[in-house]
Structure 1
């Protein structure tokens, strides 16, 4: 680092990452790490950690320990060892499957006891500092604590080999010397603030330049030091994320072996650790169909496994959350649920838009600005919809908004208005979308699923054609499909050996020739 600017870089790879694997079912693509600050520096957490189960919850679900009658007794040591393995696997897994994974500053939830305590303690610290500096003569007890914290924060920004720079910092921020200056009444607190800011300006990423400039322009010494601490926290976070991006390729390269190893240890203490995976996978294959005698048996099983797996993955986008997920997807439950909600919202928004445009008249159908505005308004109204019940409750409001947009567009483009009868009919059509057997919604749903299936079945990274009638949703479709592909591809590479064995055991053996 040595005075040079190191900037965090986005080195996230493409959605599909090919690796050499034991089977040819799919490609690969792994988890997260926590980062804890020291003293009054913050704790860091995963960007999507709010939706993650705790380690113990994940393991309890994955291992089946919540069952009323476990099939055998296992020692506490075995359970803890497997639990730690699941935790380690989760750490690696999250980095691999989340293309935008990054560490973020942990903040307590608003209006919580933790938030109140933190804010109170921080306010008390700065209030004491302000009162001590206002005394005559000034008292610097709190200031010495603050300077020691900042000194350690600057050290944390350096690498171990930066001994000369650390020595320079120690010579300037020499606490015993500063105490002597305070005793003699010659301590210049602003001098040290300017030195620290100048050093930070050399070390920070370009994205923090504006923050550094604000520091230079702040005149209140208390606010200066408060902002210095906050900026050092951000710089530490920048460095952590930069380091993570640098080692991410290595993490990805080793993630498959690590996850397989940890999962095998989990299976060692769980007699039937693939029960839900087996049930889920076998729903998508005909186990009564005989194996042809004129084909290579292993290749046939491998092809059947791949076909059953990709079909079964699409089922995960309609998963009943009251049922346990396949054990091989336990680490992705929350990510899959998020994709499931976004896909459900996509079905609803697309259906409302198609129904509206088909009844709005040819003139409005050809106006791109109207379609984009209508889509945006529908999306906002449906952004909190998660299931059929939510959809049914909000569609009347959606219908009112659609009619309002129609009238506004007709006036704007000087088009003839819609009769009250047609308005009522359109409103009824939109409300009818809540029916689970709604034909247009069913068509949209099938086209979206077929698109996802084409994506994960594709042996290449070739572009896929956007489904007919859904070109307005290309961004949403590709965004969801890309994240889904990363999860499915990595899972396939890690667990393909188990899927192969499940299918091989379920299919009849070829007759002898």
Structure 2
């Protein structure tokens, strides 16, 4: 990856003013983000959602294609990385860099912990010698000084000069050789500078550092803190440049993808198959021409074809590669697909329960309670098999909620026959061919279809019988529309050309 991609303009970050008149980095957003995929960099920073270059171009051979130089291939790989990063920032409002944590009990984690422990053990042993040895300590101070200086903004001229003067490596080395080095004093100075530069969210950690007396633990925590401060600075810089990046991301992704296609033989094969499959289905159903103008008819055909194609992504076969043009958002579409499946089952359960237990239909409180309980049970459902496995639990929960409501309100109790009917109907929703489940799926699909094809931003009407799903519907439709709109803006030209070439 091009290092310049990560060196997000620190000059663009506005420092905050502290009570002491010094400047420090701004606060960070602590909201959680989706972390379904990660890419580790040499700085141990994670980019949530970033995909592998190899996944973006399925046709890339194991060895360099004939007549294509290795330099061209490496450049294309870097372009994919850069395009993926820009895309992530543009489509994910919660995008931020995060510290990489190796999986527990992994070899990576064991090696990392062993190496770190060895360094700090050597430092402790050297400082405990008589007289103390400062070989490791000097290397540590140099690294800390360099890290501090890299956090400074151009306007921090006085602080930069101060750090260079106080953390003068040659002077410190002379003090060490003379046996008069005050190592703890330098630690306290470093902490004070970090306190001026850190984001407010790190203030408590700075306070802990000032209260730590043992020198080795202090410096170990200083290094960890500096890593976090660098991420804070980068994340704030990303938030500053995001509006401008979003405005330019479409043109940037278009240009980079065009460069990739120059060296990638038939780099749109999967996309072409995907688009033409839905075009064929649409033409088989008999699409009337809306105008005598061919170009107008092509545009309308592209809109309808791509609407069906995008909807298919919500039910995409897990074992089938995504089309090249949507591969950067593959995991997002998978996530939306899981949301869609859970929402359909939830809607079917609510419709069935409310229709069979007529005395609860008028209670908004009961509907909300039942929706919440079933939603929680469906949270871990990621596949059709998961839904089938969870249906018995949902069945018991629905029956219990209905019985509890009836007892609380003094309504007529469920007869054994009605209770059995309710249980059986909820149980049968586990089948994808269940009529009510298919009805809900059809209405949800129509709602999403309208959301991505509507020429205006007018609110869409919630489908009949699905008012209880309003929160899930609006959330899913909003995310889906955002992804589709960006994808259409970047790759719409390719889709248009594919349809135009296939229509006589």
Q: What's the TM-score once normalised by structure 2's chain length?
A: 0.83
Q: Is the 8 A contact 1:98 1:483 kept in 2?
A: no
Map 1:157-236 onto structure 2 (within 5 A): 157-159=151-153, 162-236=156-230
The 3 A distance-change label for structure 1 pair 270 and 35 is closer
Inter-partner Cα distance in structure 2 for 1:330 and 1:425 = 45
Structure 1 gap segments, 5+ residues each: 13-30, 38-42, 509-513
1:368-447 map, 5 Å: 368=365, 370-410=366-406, 417-447=413-443
**Residue 271 of structure 1: how far off its partner (Å):** 5.0
The 3 A distance-change label for structure 1 pair 287 and 405 is closer
Q: Deviations over 1:279-306 (max 9, x none)?
A: 3223444447698596332222212212
Verify the 8 A CA contact 2:195 2:206 in the aligned structure 1: yes
Q: Using the TM superposition, give the Cα deviation of residue 319 of structure 1 relative to its aligned residue in structure 2, in angstroms.
A: 1.5
Q: In the alignment, what sits opposite 1:477?
A: 473
Going from structure 1 to structure 2, the CA distance change for 1:400 and 1:124 (only over 3 Å counts) comes to farther
- Structure 2 unmatched runs, 5+: 1-13, 16-21, 32-36
Distance 1:187 1:442, change over 3 A: same
**Structure 1 pair 144–493 and aligned structure 2 pair: CA distance change class (3 A):** same
Instruction: Identify the range of structure 1 (346-355 vs 401-410) with the bigger mean alpha-carbon deviation.
Output: 401-410
Does the CA-based 8 Å contact 1:287-1:506 persist in structure 2? Answer: no
Aligned to 2:502: 506
Task: Tell me which of 95, 98, 106 is aligned to 1:101.
Answer: 95
Change over 3 Å in CA distance of 1:169–1:308 after alignment to 2: same
Where does residue 319 of structure 1 map in the other structure?
316
2:46 alignment counterpart: 45
Change (3 A) 1:197 1:301: same
The aligned length equals 474
In structure 2, the partner of 1:155 is 149
RMSD, aligned CA: 3.3
Q: For structure 1, which segment, 272-281 or 113-122, has the greater mean C-alpha deviation from structure 2 after superposition?
A: 272-281
State the Cα distance separating 1:325 from its structure 2 match.
2.5
- Which among 461, 471, 486 is matched to residue 490 of structure 1? 486
Alignment deviations for residues 211-260 of structure 1 (CA, whole Å, 9 cap, x no partner): 22333333444433333222211111011111122222333233223322
Q: Is 1:333 aligned to residue 334 of structure 2? A: no
The one of the two structures with greater contact order (alpha-carbon pairs below 8 A, sep at least 6) is 1
Mapped to 2, the partners of 1:467 and 1:58 lie a distance apart of: 36
Alpha carbons of 1:458 and 1:292: their partners in 2 closer, same or farther (altered >3 Å)? closer
SS at match of 2:89: helix
Q: Deviations over 1:443-502 (max 9, x none)?
A: 221222222222212333333333344344333333322222222111111122222222
1:354 aligns with 2:373: no
Q: Is the 8 A contact 1:267 1:273 kept in 2?
A: yes
- Measure, in 1, the Cα distance between the counterparts of 2:442 and 2:179: 78
Distance 1:183 1:414 in 2: 88
1:169 shift after superposition = 0.8
